[in-house]
């Protein structure tokens, strides 16, 4: 098996008689990353094209499959943890609606006001306090 790098930085994996180049598959984020299907295709190509007089060790394939599965599970856990943190942040912001809070404004001054609105964006929730919008949860010092 050999690996070559193309002009655009993409990798091509080759076994005797078979060449696999990365393709965008469902679940992959870019054309330069290999997905689960690509990994399985490569593994099957290796099995089909191995030398019958000196076959590869089957435990090596099981080890590679186990490592790939472990990596996939770690990525799933990471995604789930990030989603959980986002939900917790959103819940915390919603719980402050109607409450009086003390916060630090953009100039570093301590302010107090009532949370009247919560806005959600990709960067997280922001609060409107006393008519001033765009206040992040991290600037809240105390809630009453």
- DSSP string of 77-93, one letter each residue: HHHHHHHHHHHHHHHHH
Q: 26-30, 35-39, 64-68, 69-73: which range is least confident on average?
A: 26-30
Q: What is the pLDDT of residue 57?
A: 75
Tokens standing for 22? Answer: 């990365």
What's residue 8's pLDDT? Answer: 45
Beta strand pairing status for 11-15 and 124-129?
unpaired
Encode pLDDT of 69-118 as tens digits: 898 899 999 999 999 999 999 999 999 999 999 998 888 889 899 999 99
Q: Give the pLDDT confidence score for residue 14 in this predicted structure.
A: 47
Nearest-angstrom CA–CA distance, 34 and 30: 9
Q: What is the pLDDT of residues 41-65, one digit of tens each?
A: 887 888 788 777 777 777 877 888 8
Q: Is the pTM of this model over 0.85?
A: no
Whole-angstrom distance, CA of residue 139 vs CA of residue 141 = 6
Q: 33, 22 in Cβ contact below 8 A?
A: yes
- Cα-Cα-Cα-Cα dihedral sign, residues 111, 133, 90, 73: negative
């Amino acid at each position: 098996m050999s690996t070559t790098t193309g002009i655009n930085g993409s990798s091509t994996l080759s076994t005797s008689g078979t060449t696999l180049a990365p393709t965008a598959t469902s679940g992959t984020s870019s054309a330069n990353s290999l997905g689960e299907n690509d990994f399985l295709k490569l593994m099957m190509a290796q099995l089909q094209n191995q030398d019958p007089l000196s076959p590869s060790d089957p435990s090596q394939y099981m080890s590679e499959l186990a490592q790939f599965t472990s990596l996939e599970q770690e990525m799933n856990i990471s995604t789930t943890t990030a989603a959980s943190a986002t939900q917790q942040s959103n819940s915390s912001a919603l719980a402050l609606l109607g409450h009086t809070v003390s916060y630090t404004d953009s100039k570093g001054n301590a302010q107090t006001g009532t949370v009247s609105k919560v806005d959600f964006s990709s960067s997280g929730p922001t609060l409107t306090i006393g008519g001033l919008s765009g206040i992040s949860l991290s600037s809240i010092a105390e809630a009453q």
